[in-house]
Amino acid sequence: MLKYLNTALGAAALSLTLGGMPQAAFAQDSAEPIVIPTHNWSSQVVMAYVIGGIFQSIGDTVEYVPADSQAVYEAIRNGDVTISHEVWQSTFGASFYNAMAQGGIIDAGNHEAMTLEELGVPHYVIEQNLCPGLPDWEALKNCPEVFATADSEGKGRILEGPQDWHGDLMPDRIKALGLDDKYVVKFAGSADAIWAELASAKKEGRGIITFNWTPNFTDAEGFDFIKFPAYTDGCRKADGGDGSCGSPIGWLKKAANYKFPKTHPKAYTIFTKISFTTAQIGQMAALVDIDKMSHEDAAKKWLADNEAVWMPWTK
């Protein structure tokens, strides 16, 4: 009986193999578009067009959709969006793994670049000793007035990014560290609003604390991240901790809908090989935020200038 079953299964498997894939060495990618999300910071949008351009170079079709940077992981899980190419550990790690736990999103590997998403000050604030003791966070206790603005109620102002990035993470942290009677967190409406404020503070030579990240275009000029108490798993309020910790030095991942390897095997294989460095991601942002190019033009320029980087991934 067992012997018969083995033979029957073997025959079925053999006929499936022969009938299902006659001599095909490579499967073709579907003509259906690969849906790539765009968010609200420059490197992510430029990289969307860079990766889309790489997929187009092998004849695939791509489509770009503006998407909320937290909700996108659920959209990838259910197939409305195909990939995410900048999953920043600190801000999106939880949403990525929550979606993975529901089933339908896969880890397509890491970029070479490591990341930090943290509050900090432009380098001249340190150089000119505007708040002695920085970048150690405890120094903040002694100089809220250095960072006060017209709308900060006499406290120091901390300019956070748009609230859709990571909610109340920073207000929670400031409170947990006992800094809330001296500092107030204000949310910027956009990344551009942060860059505009940094530029005017520099022009006026005044102190400023903003949320920022690396890799970014600001790496070139120098931005000093504040050293808060070390991040540990579970230290954040959202994860059950008291919130009195800084951000992790984190990974930068790529994610995909679980069907992508099957529908677009060539594009998926390339996607797993794509790995950008800190300098490359900083360049993508700088083309927009310093050189003032459009995201699309920046991507075209990046692809034209860096064929030696990306073309090997398509072979």
Can you give the binding site for ligand TMO, defined by CB under 6 A? 41, 88, 91, 117, 161, 165, 213
Pairing of strands 116-122, 223-225: antiparallel
Which CB atom, from 225 or from 268, has the smaller least distance to ligand TMO?
225
Rg from Cα positions in the chain:
23
Least distance (Å) from ligand TMO to the CB of residue 287? 16
Least distance (Å) from ligand TMO to the CB of residue 185? 15
Least distance (Å) from ligand TMO to the CB of residue 165? 5
Least distance (Å) from ligand TMO to the CB of residue 94? 13
Least distance (Å) from ligand TMO to the CB of residue 26? 36
88: β partners? 252
Contacts of 233 (CB under 8 A, 6+ apart): 239
Which CB atom, from 252 or from 267, has the smaller least distance to ligand TMO?
252
Q: How many residues does the chain have?
A: 315
* Amino acid (1-letter code) at residue 218: T
Least distance (Å) from ligand TMO to the CB of residue 211? 7
Instruction: With beta carbons less than 8 A apart as the criterion, state whether 264 and 54 touch.
Output: no
Which CB atom, from 274 or from 281, has the smaller least distance to ligand TMO?
281
Which CB atom, from 268 or from 276, has the smaller least distance to ligand TMO?
276
Q: In the structure encoding, which two tokens stand for residue 139, read together?
A: 């120094």
Q: Which residue is nearest to ligand TMO (CB)?
A: 117
Which CB atom, from 194 or from 303, has the smaller least distance to ligand TMO?
194
CA distance 255 to 67: 15
Query: What count of Cα atoms within 13 Å lies in the side-chain half-sphere of residue 3?
Result: 0
Query: What count of Cα atoms within 13 Å lies in the side-chain half-sphere of residue 239?
Result: 19
Least distance (Å) from ligand TMO to the CB of residue 164? 10
Which CB atom, from 65 or from 146, has the smaller least distance to ligand TMO?
65
C-alpha dist (Å) from residue 295 to 43, 87, 226, 256: 9, 19, 30, 22
Which CB atom, from 93 or from 241, has the smaller least distance to ligand TMO?
93
Whose CA is closest to 117, among 249, 235, 289, 237? 249
